[in-house]
C-alpha cells in the first residue's frame, strides 16, 4: 500500500513534510540542523541572524518551568557574513534552508536579507518578534506600521519566499498579520514566545539575568493556536504554526486551525530529534483514517465546519 504523501507547498516552497524546526532552539550548527532534516523535517530554520556579531545576554538565559521553558538568549549570533558558509554547507548536504534574520533598523533588516539571499537560502523568515531585545524599532511586531515598512523594504531586497514571524505579545495579532501581508510577506509564522518570568524563591530574585524571558513549549500551545486561528481568518497568505507542538495531535489541531506547515522547537529538548518522525507518522495515520488524500484537505477545516454549524444554527433559530 502506498503511503499518503505529506508534501506541502508553502509560499512557493515545496517541502516533503510540513514540519520544520523552530528558529534558535537548536542553534545553527549545520550537522545538528542536518539531523533535524534526517529525522523527517521538510526544511530547517536557522537561528536568527543579525547584521553583526552579538554575544546575547549573560547566563542564566534558559530555565525549565512547568509545561515549558523560559529563555532570554538576547539573539546571540556571529553575524550574517559568518552564516554564509553555514548556509552553503547545509545546501551542499541537500537540506532546504529557511534563514531566520533580524535587524535593529529598517536598513539592517534589508542588509541581512540581501546577504542571506545571496548565500543561497531557500526562504527567509523575518523575526519581527523577539521579546528579549530592545532595538531602535523596539519589539517590531508590536507596531503594524513598522511591520509593514520593514516587510516592504525587505521585499525589495529579495525574491525568496518571505515568512514574517509574529509575536503573541500584542493586543491584536490580526492587525499585525495584515500589515505584513500588505508589505509583501508570502507567509506568516505564528508565533514566537510569550513574555513571562520565573523567580528563585531562595535567592529571592528573578532567575533570568534579563528578568523576563519568552515562554515556549506546551504551556503556550493554546495561545499560539488561537493566534494561528485569528491570523488564518485575517490574511490570504499561508500561516506556519509554531508554539508547543509536541505530538501529532497538536499538529493536527494547528492544521485544522489554518496552518499549512508547522515549526517544532522546545519539544526537541524534551523528546529528542525523533519528534519530527513521530509527528509525521501520526499526521499520516490521521489522514489515512479520516479518508484524506493529503494535508491540504485538512488545512483550515475547523473554520469551515464552524461556519456550517453557524449557518445550521441560523436556520434553526426562531425569529420573532
Active site residues: 130
The residue at minimum Cβ distance from ligand FMN is: 24
Q: In whole angstroms, give the CA distance from residue 145 to residue 22.
A: 26
Cell of 54: 552579538
Quick one: which of 33, 123, 137, 220 contacts ligand FMN (CB under 6 A)?
220
Minimum Å gap between C-beta 53 and ligand FMN is 15
CB atoms within 10 A of CB 70: 26
Q: CB nearer to ligand FMN: give 4 or 63.
A: 63
Q: In whole angstroms, give the CA distance from residue 303 to residue 127.
A: 27
x/- letters, 178..197, toward ligand FMN (CB under 6 A): --------------xx----
C-alpha neighbours within 13 Å on the C-beta side of residue 209: 11
Applying CB under 6 A, the span of 1-9, 166-174, 242-250, 277-285 interacting with ligand FMN comes to 242-250
48 and 100 Cβ atoms separated by less than 8 Å: yes
207 and 64 Cβ atoms separated by less than 8 Å: no
Subset of 80-109 contacting ligand FMN (CB under 6 A) = 100
Q: In whole angstroms, give the CA distance from residue 20 to residue 10.
A: 12
Q: In whole angstroms, give the CA distance from residue 24 to residue 193.
A: 11
Quick one: which of 117, 151, 266, 280 contacts ligand FMN (CB under 6 A)?
266
Task: Region of 238 please: left (phi>0), alpha (psi -120 to 50) or beta.
Answer: beta
Applying CB under 6 A, the span of 51-59, 167-175, 180-188, 243-251 interacting with ligand FMN comes to 243-251
Residue 132 touches ligand FMN, criterion: CB under 6 A:
no
Q: CB nearer to ligand FMN: give 8 or 23.
A: 23
Binding residues (CB under 6 A) for ligand FMN: these are 22-25, 47-48, 62, 69, 71, 73, 75, 100, 127, 165, 192-193, 216-217, 220, 242-245, 264-267
Amino acid at each position: 500500500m502506498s503511503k499518503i504523501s505529506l508534501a506541502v507547498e508553502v509560499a512557493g516552497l515545496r517541502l516533503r513534510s510540513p514540519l520544520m524546526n523552530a528558529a534558535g532552539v537548536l542553534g545553527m550548527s549545520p550537522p545538528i540542523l542536518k539531523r533535524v532534516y534526517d529525522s523527517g523535517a521538510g526544511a530547517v530554520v536557522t537561528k536568527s541572524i543579525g547584521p553583526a556579531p552579538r554575544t546575547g545576554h549573560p547566563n542564566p538565559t534558559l530555565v525549565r518551568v512547568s509545561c515549558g521553558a523560559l529563555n532570554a538568549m538576547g539573539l546571540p549570533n556571529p553575524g550574517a557574513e559568518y552564516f554564509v558558509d553555514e548556509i552553503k554547507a547545509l545546501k551542499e548536504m541537500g537540506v532546504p534552508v529557511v534563514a531566520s534574520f533580524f535587524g535593529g533598523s529598517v536598513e539592517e533588516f534589508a542588509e541581512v536579507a540581501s546577504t542571506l539571499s545571496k548565500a543561497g537560502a531557500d526562504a527567509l523568515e523575518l523575526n519581527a518578534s523577539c521579546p528579549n531585545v530592545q532595538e531602535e524599532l523596539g519589539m517590531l511586531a508590536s507596531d503594524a506600521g513598522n511591520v509593514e515598512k520593514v516587510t516592504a523594504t525587505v521585499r525589495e531586497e529579495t525574491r525568496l519566499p518571505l515568512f514574517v514571524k509574529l509575536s503573541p505579545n500584542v493586543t491584536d495579532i490580526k492587525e499585525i498579520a495584515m500589515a505584513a501581508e500588505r508589505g509583501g510577506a508570502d507567509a506568516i509564522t505564528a508565533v514566537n514566545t510569550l513574555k513571562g518570568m520565573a523567580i528563585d524563591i531562595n535567592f529571592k530574585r528573578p532567575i533570568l539575568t534579563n528578568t523576563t524571558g519568552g515562554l515556549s513549549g506546551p504551556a503556550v500551545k493554546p495561545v499560539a493556536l488561537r493566534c494561528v486561528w485569528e491570523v488564518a481568518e485575517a490574511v490570504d497568505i499561508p500561516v506556519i504554526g509554531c508554539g508547543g507542538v509536541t505530538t501529532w495531535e497538536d499538529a493536527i489541531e494547528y492544521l485544522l486551525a489554518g496552518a499549512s506547515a508547522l515549526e517544532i522547537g522546545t519539544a526537541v529538548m524534551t523528546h529528542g530529534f525523533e519528534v519530527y518522525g513521530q509527528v509525521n507518522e501520526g499526521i499520516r495515520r490521521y489522514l489515512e483514517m479520516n479518508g484524506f488524500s493529503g494535508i491540504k484537505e485538512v488545512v483550515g477545516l475547523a473554520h469551515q465546519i464552524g461556519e456550517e454549524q453557524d449557518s445550521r444554527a441560523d436556520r434553526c433559530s426562531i425569529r420573532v
